[in-house]
């Protein structure tokens, strides 16, 4: 159970979440005196009451969970069948989709980071980690890169492409876009939506099918209406929203992708206590894993770069450090090589290490072109 569901006052829940206590398990090993003396700024009697309520709720949850674990058992054969039947969200770049095994996978969390070429060459992050949640493996993928590499463009492209109808090989779903930096551009989203519909029309003409009815039903404004946009201005808002998504998704089950742009921004700005930050991020990662599995959707986390001192030199590294990097199963790094943009699979248990060139055009993400110049779109 998450903290926001505890039957305590709203102010107490807010203090707990701000202090990094996002689940009942995070309160299991703390004393009332430590809780009162910590970041909560409450009396010891209040702290004792909070722990009492949490203990009671945890006991009820444990008794219910034991039954659900047994009932939820799944054979490895069924797991393989489920993985083979998973849908993908195209990136609109065939080369990029190819190295991703078809595109962005549902029931997976894809983290996208961006970096310079030196990070790829000197990468020390060559490890693989499969995170199991329940009876299914949930995939985390990190995608990142330097400014101007097109990470927000890619996030918008995914939010648009998830709405491609099933008849055209898409999911026919909706998107949640969580903007922590204020970088979302609605005019750009409209351009990409227009291009997406034009691509479907071209695809339809190639197959010689009647696209008239679909064309009337899907317009660029319809695509924009199916992107639920949240502007986040602090890490407490971000934590609160992640906890709220469970309820939101229960009411909007046609949402098939969550894009967070970027997941690291407020945690780099506002945190001095690294232990607290690690605890908060771990809770948020578990929550996102659970959402990906329960609602059969894709989660795309965009990350930033920072500098890291290694072997008497400074290198670019993905933000939030080693503790956050271990929460990712797959990591994709975006980087410049001359005048071309590249995506590199730096870490994955199921995808081989590979790179693919791509370009950012007026129509969105596309295959690379030799005439593509290193310019900033919009």
Instruction: Output the pLDDT for position 139.
Output: 43
191 φ, ψ (degrees, to nearest 5): -60, -45
Instruction: Output the pLDDT for position 68.
Output: 46
DSSP character string of 267-304: HHHS---HHHHHHHHHHHHHHHHHHHHHTT-EEEEEE-
**Cα 366 to Cα 363: distance, rounded to the nearest angstrom:** 8
**Which has more confidence, 365 or 55?**
365
Least confident among 46-55, 304-313, 332-341 = 304-313
Instruction: Tally the C-alpha atoms within 13 A of residue 99's C-alpha that lie toward its C-beta.
Output: 22
Q: Is the pLDDT of residue 375 over 80?
A: no
Instruction: Output the pLDDT for position 309.
Output: 54
pLDDT band at 333 (very low <50, low <70, confident <90, very high): confident
Q: Is the pLDDT of residue 4 over 70?
A: no
> Residue 83 burial by CB count (10 A; 0-12/13-18/19+): exposed, middle or buried?
middle
pTM of this structure: 0.73
- Sequence-ordered list of residues with C-beta below 8 angstroms from that of 241, at least 6 positions apart, any chain: 178, 230, 232
pLDDT in tens, 62-101: 555 444 444 567 788 887 877 777 889 999 999 999 999 9
Peptide linkage before 70 cis (omega within 30 of 0): no
In this prediction, residues 44-57 reach a mean pLDDT of 84
Least confident among 248-252, 307-311, 327-331, 356-360 = 307-311
Beta-sheet strands, E only, within 5-126? 88-89, 104-105, 108-115
pLDDT band at 131 (very low <50, low <70, confident <90, very high): very low
Measuring CA to CA, which residue among 6, 102, 127 is closest to residue 60?
6
In the chain, pLDDT over 90 holds for what percent of residues?
33
Instruction: Output the pLDDT for position 303.
Output: 83
Instruction: Output the pLDDT for position 374.
Output: 44
**Cα 344 to Cα 350: distance, rounded to the nearest angstrom:** 14
Instruction: Output the pLDDT for position 45.
Output: 86
In this prediction, residues 101-106 reach a mean pLDDT of 90
Question: Which domains occur in the chain, in start order?
Answer: 3-58 (1.10.150), 80-367 (3.40.50.300)
pLDDT in tens, 236-288: 999 999 999 999 999 999 999 999 998 888 887 767 777 787 788 888 888 99
Instruction: Output the pLDDT for position 327.
Output: 65
Least confident among 125-134, 142-151, 218-227, 367-376 = 125-134
In this prediction, residues 196-204 reach a mean pLDDT of 86
351 φ, ψ (degrees, to nearest 5): -110, 135
């Amino acid at each position: 159970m998450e903290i926001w569901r505890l039957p305590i006052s709203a102010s107490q829940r807010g203090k707990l979440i701000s202090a990094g206590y996002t689940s009942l398990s995070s309160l299991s090993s703390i004393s009332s005196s430590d809780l009162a003396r910590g970041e909560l700024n409450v009396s010891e009697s209040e702290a004792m009451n909070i722990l009492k309520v949490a203990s009671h709720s945890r006991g009820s949850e444990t008794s219910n969970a034991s039954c659900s674990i047994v009932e939820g058992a799944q054979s490895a054969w069924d797991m393989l069948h489920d993985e083979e039947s998973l849908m993908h969200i195209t990136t609109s770049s065939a080369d990029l989709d190819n190295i991703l095994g078809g595109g962005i996978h549902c029931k997976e969390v894809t983290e996208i980071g961006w970096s310079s070429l030196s990070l790829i060459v000197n990468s020390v992050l060559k490890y693989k980690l499969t995170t199991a949640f329940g009876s299914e493996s949930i995939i985390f993928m990190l995608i990142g890169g330097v400014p101007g590499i097109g990470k927000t463009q890619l996030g918008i492209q995914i939010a648009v492409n998830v709405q491609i109808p099933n008849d055209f090989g898409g999911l026919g779903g909706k998107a949640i876009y969580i903007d922590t930096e204020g970088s979302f551009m609605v005019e750009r989203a409209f351009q990409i939506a227009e291009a997406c519909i034009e691509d479907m029309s071209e695809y339809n003409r190639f197959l010689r099918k009647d696209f008239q009815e679909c064309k009337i039903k899907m317009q660029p404004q319809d695509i924009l209406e199916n992107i639920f946009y949240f502007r986040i201005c602090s890490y407490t808002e971000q934590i609160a929203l992640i906890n709220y998504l469970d309820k939101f998704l229960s009411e909007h089950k046609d949402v098939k992708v969550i894009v967070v742009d970027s997941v690291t921004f407020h945690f780099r700005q506002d945190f001095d206590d690294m232990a607290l930050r690690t605890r908060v991020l771990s809770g948020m990662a578990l929550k996102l894993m659970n959402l990906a599995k329960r609602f059969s959707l894709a989660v795309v986390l965009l990350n930033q770069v920072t500098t890291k001192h290694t072997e008497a030199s400074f290198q670019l590294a993905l933000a939030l450090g080693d503790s956050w990097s271990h929460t990712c199963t797959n990591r994709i790094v975006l980087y410049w090589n001359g005048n071309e943009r590249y995506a590199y699979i730096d870490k994955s248990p199921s995808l081989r290490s590979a790179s693919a060139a791509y370009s950012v055009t007026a129509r969105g993400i596309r295959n690379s072109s030799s005439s593509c110049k290193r310019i900033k779109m919009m």
